[in-house]
Amino acid sequence: MKQYINPPKEEWESLLTRPTKSVEVIEDTVDEVFKAVQEHGDKAIKEFTLKFDGVELESNIVSQEEIQSALQLVSEDLKIAIYLAKTNIEKFHSAQKTSKVEVETMPGVLCWQEKRPIQKVGLYIPGGTAPLFSTVLMLAVPAQIAGCKEIVLCSPPNKEGKIANEILYAAQLCGVTKIIKVGGIQAIAGLTFGTKTIPQVHKIFGPGNQFVTVAKQLSTKYGVAIDMPAGPSELLVMADESANAAYVASDLLSQAEHGSDSQVILVTTSQNFANDVSIEVNQQLEALPRKIMAEKAIANSKSIIVDSNEIALDLINEYGPEHFIVATTNNDFFVEHISNAGSVFIGNYTPESAGDYASGTNHTLPTNGFSKAYSGVNLDSFQKSMTFQKISKAGIQNIGNAIELMAEAEGLQAHKNAVTLRLNDLINE
């Protein structure tokens, strides 16, 4: 990890740049795939699956036989672990339920808000080098709690034309209604336009590579909502000499092994600690099965040494990390004042991997600085807030004149008439 000591504030923007391709480089490919899927449906899906995933499928729909087979092939120990994680995720997301909000704004004018589920949702589950069955839990569990009627899961097939057994097991456990063997841009395009085999959905969820991220953003042009822009994973650790260098190094590497375009950053007030972490990173890296991939990510990562917690906080808020670990003598300072982060992990015994799997919080989080404006996935992500109002005769008399005056001032005579007719009828009763 390259060290930077007290970088001046005017250099922070360039220093904190993510190692991602520009949208312009990716957009042409995404546009090409979207247009083909829109025009040719499943035929285009099949061609792109062969091109990008290297497999030709007779059918891209996962059968009940495949699901039943997967259930037998997942070990009992892993099933127990998945069930534990599912239980904690259910507890945390069920606690996010809110009751109806109701208020009489003035006599006779009753307003209320209720949550209603999004009817059709699409869940994108990355496959490739690390099939993320944990993401199935993170997306399908809150979708089920929210009451979504159609939960469609898309995940890329491997070279044998299959989806990982663990993904199928988790999907079956969490109430997914349809599973499709399709990944990448073509999966997002299929969920956007709908094909004979892929249902069109109202909202798309899930992380992915840079191409998937841009594809999700393009889908919004066609009236489909998305959870957030969620691209390559990232982690920022704020630690001082009270932290454990080996723990910090393990956290940095846990994100680095996601992919070569992941980014990890250490911010610290101690150069000695930064040196200790660097040594630990190099030692632990040697034992990782995904060493080559993690090495590439570490090459894009940084160790930043600053003079104070206050400067560190400003820098962290400027970066807006997806995951933020704080392990210092004054964790409360950072917890109270952090403004931009997807999810926060506090103390020496709270590894980021706990949130990735089993603590109960959601691991689908905004990356690339989008935590400045976006929340991570939560129960509300799968719901809409609908407002209602009911006005009595007394109520329309109480607010009617105000409506008439405002409508007239805006030049909207029909709006005024809609009130005036009612008020006149009440006068003549």
C-alpha 55 chain-centroid distance: 28
Sheet holding 263-268, edge to edge: 2-5, 302-305, 263-268, 234-239, 323-327, 343-346
Q: Is 42 annotated as a binding residue?
A: no
- Report yes or no: 171 and 122 within 8 Å, Cβ to Cβ: no
Say how many C-beta atoms besides its own lie within 10 A of residue 349's C-beta.
10
- Confirm whether residue 40 is marked as ligand binding: no
233: annotated binding-site residue? yes
Measure Cα distances from 326 to 104, 238, 251, 415, 419 in Å: 44, 5, 11, 55, 57
- Specify the amino acid at residue 323: H
- Residues in Cβ contact with 294 at an 8 Å cutoff, skipping those fewer than 6 apart: 253, 256, 257, 285, 288
Distances in Å between the Cα of 130 and the Cα atoms of 67, 169, 208, 257, 423 are 19, 16, 11, 10, 66
The set of catalytic residues is 322-323
258 is in an annotated binding site: yes
- Does the annotation flag 209 for ligand binding? yes
- The answer to whether the annotation marks 389 as part of a ligand binding site is no
Q: Cα torsion for 9, 14, 20, 26, to the nearest 10°?
A: 120
Cα separation, 356 vs 344, in Å, equals: 12
Tell whether 255 is in a known binding site.
yes
Give residue 75's Cα distance to chain centre.
28
Annotated binding site for substrate: 233, 255, 258, 323, 356, 410, 415
Residues making up the binding site for NAD(+) = 124, 186, 209
Residues annotated in a binding site for Zn(2+)? 255, 258, 356, 415
Q: Which residues are annotated as a binding site?
A: 124, 186, 209, 233, 255, 258, 323, 356, 410, 415
